[in-house]
Chain A
């Protein structure tokens, strides 16, 4: 069963990356999707990242109760956790729910109302026209959101630490700047790129092959989110094992 679906997924991807009929029309769609995925998710990701950063600072401070450890370490731990794991993974899991379900249900509705059949009869490569702009928008906008998420998580940590008294702003800033390794950001961006691809392609796949009516579209959307989340966690483990 798994191999049947995986084979079908690969065949869909093969069709998705066929040469577009007209780049100008695809470009318009890509810009539209970048706006939907990127700008449309900005507020949610900003709120989540800021609060996670603030909470992380307080929890690290709570666990590091020792006179032997300088409080600037709180900033260091928060920085590395946010860059390497929390920002890419939490952002991706949240977007799998928000963006993934929207993609599945949009494409699924088009399938059950014969709009995809209409595209195919016109001679348009339906997987390319419907899925390629979403994948390209996902792999460009999700890394941007992750960068923003890292920045806001660190800012949230600064504010949360200062308000709670867990760490002074000066110690925190010294912690996040000391011993910073740029490579960790590269790891985060690789993760974001892969997660962006997984979220958009898996959700589109579940929507594209839906059969039935509104009920099946809802079920496909849920399955798309679940499979995306599992795939994100597996990919997270593999990338971490390979790159660190």
Chain B
């Protein structure tokens, strides 16, 4: 379980996060949604330790991650898997090397065991046989899937996903969403997804947090979102005339 308590983060005069509190449960997918500049990605980066908040705590199983030094964070970091918006695959490495990399750094597995694990992860994301390809040879959807394969190579307890569907066609986006959902179930991991994609919100949003002007404005599930009377949330989720009409019919 991850708990976020009273997180504040500024960049110069820009106060991006203004006291966020939230709890993220294992085995559930938590979606952080909100408009551009609302602080979604900043919150995610504070949670994984890429940004240090000025105030507040991020607790992993009640351990304060924000105040730990580099060495103390390593055991928790080994349990974190993350898929980046642009996949962030290492260009100089093949698909297989990308997946094996964390195993090489942190385990004493034999070469065969590592390759077997890479093959398993690739099969899991439906990319079996693409071991020797380089990231430059992959499509956007394939890069995302390799990113997921790398994220699960160490069997993570915490899975963070930043804009999984950006730049993908709707069909591939659904495949990625289903994959995240299946992996959360399979590994019983605490999954946190930052997204703009309303299909994801409606499809896999067990737990949704809506950020507005750096604050947690609304929290609920995908079943509750359609009935919400929070104006800012409705303006964000049902922004298009089509979605407005769909809500009225719902």
Interface, chain A (partner B; CB < 8 A):
15, 18, 21-22, 25, 109-110, 113-115, 117-118, 120-125
Interface, chain B (partner A; CB < 8 A):
48-50, 70, 73-74, 77-78, 80, 82, 84-86, 88-91, 101-102, 104-106, 160
B40–chain A nearest beta-carbon distance, Å:
16
Query: What residues of chain B lie closer than 8 Å to A117, measured between beta carbons?
Result: 50, 84, 88
Give the complex CA separation of A113 and B92 in angstroms.
13
B102–chain A nearest beta-carbon distance, Å:
5
Main secondary structure of the interface of A (DSSP, over half): helix
Main secondary structure of the interface of B (DSSP, over half): mixed
Query: What residues of chain B lie closer than 8 Å to A113, measured between beta carbons?
Result: 86, 88, 91
Residue contact B104 to A25, C-beta cutoff 8 Å: yes
Residue contact A21 to B88, C-beta cutoff 8 Å: no
Residue contact B50 to A123, C-beta cutoff 8 Å: no
Query: What residues of chain B lie closer than 8 Å to A122, measured between beta carbons?
Result: 77-78, 80, 101-102, 105-106
B231–chain A nearest beta-carbon distance, Å:
34
Contacts known (A22-B104, A114-B85); A121 close to B48, Cβ less than 8 A: yes
Residue contact B73 to A115, C-beta cutoff 8 Å: no
Residue contact A121 to B50, C-beta cutoff 8 Å: yes
Query: What residues of chain B lie closer than 8 Å to A121, measured between beta carbons?
Result: 48-50, 77, 80, 82, 160
Give the complex CA separation of A121 and B74 in angstroms.
9
In the complex, besides A117-B84, A117-B88, A118-B82, 13 extra interface pairs with C-beta distance below 8 angstroms are A15-B70, A25-B105, A113-B86, A114-B84, A114-B86, A115-B91, A117-B50, A118-B90, A120-B49, A120-B50, A121-B50, A123-B80, A124-B102
21 contacts between A and B (CB under 8 A): A18-B70, A22-B104, A22-B105, A114-B86, A114-B88, A115-B90, A117-B84, A117-B88, A118-B82, A118-B88, A121-B48, A121-B50, A121-B77, A121-B82, A122-B80, A122-B105, A123-B73, A123-B74, A123-B106, A124-B102, A125-B70
A32–chain B nearest beta-carbon distance, Å:
9
Query: What residues of chain B lie closer than 8 Å to A109, measured between beta carbons?
Result: 91
Query: What residues of chain A lie closer than 8 Å to B160, measured between beta carbons?
Result: 121
Query: What residues of chain A lie closer than 8 Å to B78, measured between beta carbons?
Result: 122-123
Give the complex CA separation of A121 and B82 in angstroms.
8
Residue of A nearest to B80 (CB): A121
A103–chain B nearest beta-carbon distance, Å:
14
A168–chain B nearest beta-carbon distance, Å:
52
Residue of A nearest to B147 (CB): A118
Residue of B nearest to A117 (CB): B50
Residue of A nearest to B74 (CB): A123
Query: What residues of chain A lie closer than 8 Å to B74, measured between beta carbons?
Result: 123
Residue of A nearest to B85 (CB): A114
Query: What residues of chain B lie closer than 8 Å to A124, measured between beta carbons?
Result: 102, 105
Query: What residues of chain A lie closer than 8 Å to B101, measured between beta carbons?
Result: 122
B24–chain A nearest beta-carbon distance, Å:
16
Residue contact B105 to A115, C-beta cutoff 8 Å: no
Residue of B nearest to A106 (CB): B92
Give the complex CA separation of A122 and B86 in angstroms.
17
Give the complex CA separation of A125 and B84 in angstroms.
19
Query: What residues of chain A lie closer than 8 Å to B73, measured between beta carbons?
Result: 123
